[in-house]
Amino acid sequence: MIGTLLMGRYRLTELVGSGGMANVYLARDEKEDREVAVKVLKDEHADNGVLVERFESEGRAGKLLHHRNIVRVYDTGEEGGRRFIVMEYARGVTLKEVIKQRISLDPEACIDIAVQVLRALAHAHAKGIVHRDVKPHNILLQANGDVKVYDFGIAQTIGEKRAGEEKTSVMGTVYYLSPEQARAEPAEVRSDIYSFGITLFEMLTGTVPFTGTSVIDVAKKHLNEEVPAPRSVDERIPKSLNDIVRKATRKNLRLRYRSAWEMRRDLMRARREPDGDFVRVKEERLPAGSEREKPQPDRARRRMYAIVGAVIVLVVVTVAVLVFGSVPPEQGQRVVSVLGLQQGRAESKLEDLGFVPDVVIEPDSEEPAGTVFRQEPAEGETLVPGGVVRIFVSAGVSMGTMPDVLDMKLSDAKAVIKKNNLTVGEVTQVTSDEPSGYVVRQDPEPGDELMPNSQVDLWVSAGPEELPEETAAAAEAP
């Protein structure tokens, strides 16, 4: 196909990649005068309805996503019986290739990569799109430090269920598969969180947590075995990163991070407090016979009592209730009311009774900030110890939106941030072709939803890199 002109503008110039489903060509967009990548579905798959749908899904999802950390889709089409997707041509190597070469990455590199991946996922989730196949193979690292997520081939809209798909296949790559996907249930935002938690585990340790003689063996482990703590593989891994991985990879999706933004926030804090004990990892009950990692030595004693109590009850209770399920009163513990309590007191009260609190922050509530105004199950219902009680906590005010302060003077950017009820975080000087003193990067990005008083980190130009005197003289010579 070299030399072929598609849609009167995309001329294929070189085959740069080939997979089981498609070939990827470097092409010249003659209308915009730029290099692009064109992914062409192989002829032998033209009549394969499942693969055609996956291919078209990638194009549909890509057109909705416009983010610096996502490989952009410019166009889609069909010509001469061939389906194709026109994409940004992004140079780089996959995260999987880097892991293979380095065995594992240092914590600072892991955080930098993870923060950018989570920005991409947060953007996709905000558009109502779940990736469903997050893995190192689909994360591109570029020479300038940028990270790009790609291959939304099995992505779907949140809540969408394609006819017959979930019954006939387990979507995604088994080593990174969430438990709900392994059960052939629809994926959701926290399914991507789990898959990226497994990816972060591999970044830190150089290996995936579960292996087996078949894909079924690995899928069963995702269903039934707790993901080992990264520090059980390498004790040098900082505690904060260890806990972030554990929280992201809970079997019960209600116990994971609620959003990519929330996980990213903890990673940013982990950069400042590598050995901090700020991540709340909620224990969960696993199916009988499952393997559980050994308790962490610094686990709070009352949490240990709750877990031990749950194990004892599981021996005698014949019907396991994972979330919100009721049991006969004589076999369980009555739920008490925590309405009106501050979040910390409510969590402590539930933990003392052997329950696991699941906190949901409601930004639009009119109740005082930090106050529990709703709970599920209600007071008086019965749960086994170790059961989950969801508490809804008021944020007091509505979420805000991150303003765009790029290309502003630092003083102006700070004023805009404060005006929007946000706080200025770390300010980092970087070399740049932009004028000295101007903002060249911000985190969170423009348009991101934020709680009031959230921290905003800025990168400010220190001017271009100074050349050595000899080099500068040579550059100025006629």
> Based on the domain organization, do 96 and 127 belong to the same domain?
yes
Owner of token pair 């929007």 = 420
> Based on the domain organization, do 104 and 59 belong to the same domain?
no
pLDDT (tens digit per residue) in 402-421: 888 988 999 999 999 999 88
For residues 377 and 351, is the Cβ–Cβ distance under 8 A? no
pLDDT at 314 over 70: no
Provide CB contacts within 8 A for 374, sequence distance 6+: 339, 391, 392
Within-domain flag for 233: yes
pTM: 0.60
> Based on the domain organization, do 116 and 234 belong to the same domain?
yes
Rounded average pLDDT over 200-204:
97
Closest C-alpha to 181, from 214, 218, 150, 213: 218
Number of domains the chain contains? 4
For residues 432 and 461, is the Cβ–Cβ distance under 8 A? yes
Rounded average pLDDT over 275-284:
89
> Based on the domain organization, do 407 and 392 belong to the same domain?
no
Within-domain flag for 430: yes
> Based on the domain organization, do 133 and 219 belong to the same domain?
yes
Rounded average pLDDT over 309-329:
38
Residues marked as catalytic: 133
pLDDT band at 295 (very low <50, low <70, confident <90, very high): very low
Report helix angle 239-248 to 189-205, nearest 10.
Answer: 140
For residues 375 and 389, is the Cβ–Cβ distance under 8 A? yes
Within-domain flag for 287: no
pLDDT at 381 over 80: yes
Within-domain flag for 467: no
The burial class, CB within 10 Å (0-12 / 13-18 / 19+), for 368 is exposed
Two tokens, residue 253: 């999706």
Q: What is the DSSP string of 7-56?
A: TTTEEEEEEEEE-SSEEEEEEEETTTTEEEEEEEE-GGGTT-HHHHHHHH
Q: Which of 76-90, 148-162, 176-190 has the lowest mean pLDDT?
A: 148-162
pLDDT band at 154 (very low <50, low <70, confident <90, very high): low
pLDDT band at 160 (very low <50, low <70, confident <90, very high): very low
Within-domain flag for 291: no
Measure the CA dihedral 367/123/158/61, to 10°: 160
Q: Given this model, what pLDDT does residue 306 score?
A: 42
Q: Given this model, what pLDDT does residue 282 score?
A: 85
Q: Given this model, what pLDDT does residue 141 score?
A: 95
Q: Given this model, what pLDDT does residue 353 score?
A: 83
Domain closes at, from 398, 414, 447: 398
Two tokens, residue 126: 């905000």
> Based on the domain organization, do 242 and 373 belong to the same domain?
no
What distance in Å separates the CA atoms of residue 364 and residue 368, rounded to the nearest whole number? 11
- Return the beta strands (E) in 286-399 as ranges: 333-334, 356-362, 372-376, 382-383, 388-394
Domain closes at, from 398, 417, 438: 398
What distance in Å separates the CA atoms of residue 189 and residue 193, rounded to the nearest whole number? 7
For residues 225 and 290, is the Cβ–Cβ distance under 8 A? yes
Q: Residue 412 belongs to a domain with what CATH number?
A: 3.30.10.20
pLDDT (tens digit per residue) in 443-471: 888 877 676 778 899 999 888 766 555 54
Tell me the backbone φ, ψ of residue 365, rounded to 5 degrees: -70, 145
pLDDT at 149 over 90: yes
DSSP class of residue 1? Answer: -
> Based on the domain organization, do 417 and 383 belong to the same domain?
no
Owner of token pair 């749960």 = 383
Closest C-alpha to 436, from 458, 411, 461: 461
> Based on the domain organization, do 25 and 102 belong to the same domain?
no
With H, G, I as helix, E, B as strand and everything else as coil, classify residue 297: coil
Closest C-alpha to 360, from 337, 348, 343, 340: 343
What distance in Å separates the CA atoms of residue 5 and residue 11, rounded to the nearest whole number? 4
Amino acid (one-letter) located at 371: T
Q: Residue 17 belongs to a domain with what CATH number?
A: 3.30.200.20
pLDDT at 21 over 90: no
For residues 446 and 403, is the Cβ–Cβ distance under 8 A? yes
> Based on the domain organization, do 394 and 411 belong to the same domain?
no
Domain closes at, from 42, 64, 88: 88
Neighbour tally for 433: CB within 10 Å? 9
> Based on the domain organization, do 205 and 305 belong to the same domain?
no
For residues 456 and 422, is the Cβ–Cβ distance under 8 A? yes
> Based on the domain organization, do 153 and 178 belong to the same domain?
yes
Tell me the backbone φ, ψ of residue 303, rounded to 5 degrees: -65, -35
> Based on the domain organization, do 53 and 160 belong to the same domain?
no
3-state percent breakdown (helix, strand, coil) of the chain, nearest 5? 35, 20, 45
What distance in Å separates the CA atoms of residue 269 and residue 457, rounded to the nearest whole number? 12
416: domain range?
400-461
Most confident of 101-115, 361-375, 458-472: 101-115
What distance in Å separates the CA atoms of residue 405 and residue 65, rounded to the nearest whole number? 22
pLDDT (tens digit per residue) in 22-48: 889 999 999 989 999 999 999 888 888
Sign of CA dihedral 277, 193, 172, 283: positive
Rounded average pLDDT over 353-369:
71
Q: Which of 52-61, 279-288, 310-319 has the lowest mean pLDDT?
A: 310-319
What distance in Å separates the CA atoms of residue 157 and residue 187, rounded to the nearest whole number? 10
What distance in Å separates the CA atoms of residue 127 and residue 155, rounded to the nearest whole number? 12
What distance in Å separates the CA atoms of residue 326 and residue 324, rounded to the nearest whole number? 7
Within-domain flag for 167: yes
Within-domain flag for 286: no
Within-domain flag for 201: yes
